[in-house]
């Protein structure tokens, strides 16, 4: 455990030192992956389905606020819908407008959740989102999670209806609109997913805020179990054909990711919990203090001290001090009666300082002493 804590501290120090470089790289990678995923799922406009365009847009997102990743993803998807049909683009624009008003009213701080949710849906691991968001965000994060789920099913509906839309003529505008709107509004799987994710986020958030031991672990387990139960109940009621194996494997992966988040955000030592009681003129206070797990980084400092010769000291004294983790002091001296040296200069050899015994000696002194 100590090795893991040291690795965590090194990562934190590295991040704080190179944050100005790490954040742009992370935003570039995220934008690149999100836009590439959109091109793979839709890809109806050939001008956008180009790696050079994706790279340039990702580089722009790396130097802009994270909300621009959501903006460029929305623009890319709308352009692909427009290349498919104007009706699909109109429906997509209307849905994005409603989500935009809800999102910036309630959950504008969690903009990355909106793009991560459909991305994890595309990777078949969406169950990580509600547990992770419940651990690190607040209850209003239900709104961006719901917006991400709606975005995923909007893209899925457009992709599934593409062949049927292409077979319809340009005069069948109402038929195209009805096809896309019905495919989105009457999608019971989307409703079940939104309900399951919303309840999971709130449950995880409420439990991890409790003043009980291992609250985060209990919140993870309860959230994953509740998510699975709601999805299975929805499958039984509406026959939405949810894969039980996928749900279980995704929930296990969500628990693993949640433990990693806990290690970096809430790593405490419950064995050293202290309960303190004190009072003032108006209240009694009962405080439970749980110390964080931390380890001091081992550092070594070597101090070199120039020797100061005394008359009763017939040699050189070297003192070396090491600090950080383990500290000690080591000394060595030689005595040979009274020192014959009357002067000298300091000579440094490596990390050891010595006096030059032959400095300022006359020939008579040399003959008498040697």
**Three-state SS letters, 339-364:** CCCCCCCEEEECCEEEECCCCCCCHH
Residue with tokens 């002067």: 343
pLDDT at 344: 44
pLDDT, one tens digit for every residue, the chain (370 residues): 788 888 888 888 998 999 999 999 999 999 999 999 999 999 899 899 899 999 999 999 999 988 899 999 999 999 999 999 999 999 999 999 998 887 766 656 778 899 999 999 999 899 999 999 999 998 988 999 999 999 999 999 999 999 988 888 777 888 889 999 998 988 999 999 999 999 999 999 999 999 888 999 999 999 999 999 999 999 999 888 888 888 999 999 999 999 999 988 888 878 888 888 888 888 888 888 888 877 666 555 666 666 655 455 555 544 444 444 444 433 443 334 444 444 444 444 444 444 444 455 555 554 554 4
From residue 219, give the alpha-carbon distance in Å to each of 102, 205, 214, 293, 317: 27, 7, 9, 20, 62
| Three-class DSSP category at 299 | coil
pLDDT at 37: 94
For 227-280, give the DSSP string: HHHHHHHHHHHH-----HHHHHHHHHHHHHHHHHHHHHH--B-GGG-EEEEEE-
Helix or strand (DSSP H, E) at 156: helix 142-167
pTM of the model: 0.76
pLDDT at 370: 46
**Three-state SS letters, 79-144:** HHHHHHCHHHHHHHHHHHHHHHHHHHHHCHHHHHHHHHHHHHHHCCCCCHHHHHHHHHCCHHHHHH
Residues 86, 91: Cα–Cα separation, whole Å: 9
Q: Residue ranges of the domains in the chain?
A: 2-269, 301-369
Residues 205, 239: Cα–Cα separation, whole Å: 30
Quick one: how far is CA 261 from the chain centroid? 7
pLDDT at 211: 85
Structure tokens, 252: 């296990």
Close Cβ partners of 113 (under 8 Å, ≥ 6 residues apart) = 107, 129, 133, 137, 141, 144, 145, 148
Output DSSP code: residue 334.
-
Residue 215 backbone class (left: φ over 0; alpha: ψ -120 to 50; beta: rest):
alpha
């Amino acid at each position: 455990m100590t090795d893991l804590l040291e690795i965590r501290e090194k990562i934190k120090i590295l991040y704080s030192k190179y944050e100005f470089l790490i954040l742009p790289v992370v935003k570039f990678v995220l934008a690149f992956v999100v836009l590439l995923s959109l091109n793979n799922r839709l890809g109806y406009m050939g001008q956008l389905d180009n790696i050079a365009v994706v790279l340039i847009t990702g580089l722009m997102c790396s130097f802009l606020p994270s909300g621009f990743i959501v903006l460029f993803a929305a623009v890319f998807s709308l352009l692909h819908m427009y290349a498919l049909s104007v009706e699909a683009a109109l429906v997509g624009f209307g849905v994005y407008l409603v989500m935009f008003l809800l999102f910036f009213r309630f959950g504008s701080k969690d903009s990355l959740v909106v793009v991560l949710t459909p991305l994890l849906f595309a990777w078949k691991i969406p169950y990580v989102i509600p547990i992770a968001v419940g651990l690190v965000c607040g209850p209003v994060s239900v709104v961006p999670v719901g917006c991400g789920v709606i975005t995923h099913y909007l893209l899925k509906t457009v992709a599934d209806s593409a062949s049927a839309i292409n077979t319809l003529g340009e005069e069948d505008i109402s038929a195209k609109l009805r096809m896309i709107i019905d495919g989105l509004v009457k999608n019971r799987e989307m409703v079940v997913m939104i309900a399951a994710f919303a309840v999971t986020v709130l449950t995880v958030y409420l439990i991890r805020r409790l003043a009980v031991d291992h609250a985060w672990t209990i919140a993870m387990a309860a959230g994953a179990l509740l998510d699975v139960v709601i999805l299975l109940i929805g499958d039984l009621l509406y026959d939405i054909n949810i894969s039980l194996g996928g749900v279980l494997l995704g929930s296990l992966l969500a628990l693993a990711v949640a433990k990693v988040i806990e290690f970096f955000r809430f790593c405490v030592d419950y064995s050293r919990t202290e309960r303190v009681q004190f009072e003032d003129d108006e209240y009694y206070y009962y405080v439970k203090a749980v110390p964080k797990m931390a380890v001091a980084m081992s550092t070594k400092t070597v101090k070199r001290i120039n020797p100061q010769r005394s008359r009763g000291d017939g040699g050189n004294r070297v003192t070396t001090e090491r600090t950080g983790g383990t500290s000690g002091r080591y000394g060595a001296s030689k005595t040979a009666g009274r020192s014959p040296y009357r002067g000298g200069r300091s000579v440094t050899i490596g990390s050891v300082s010595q006096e030059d015994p032959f400095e300022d000696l006359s020939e008579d002194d040399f003959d008498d002493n040697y």
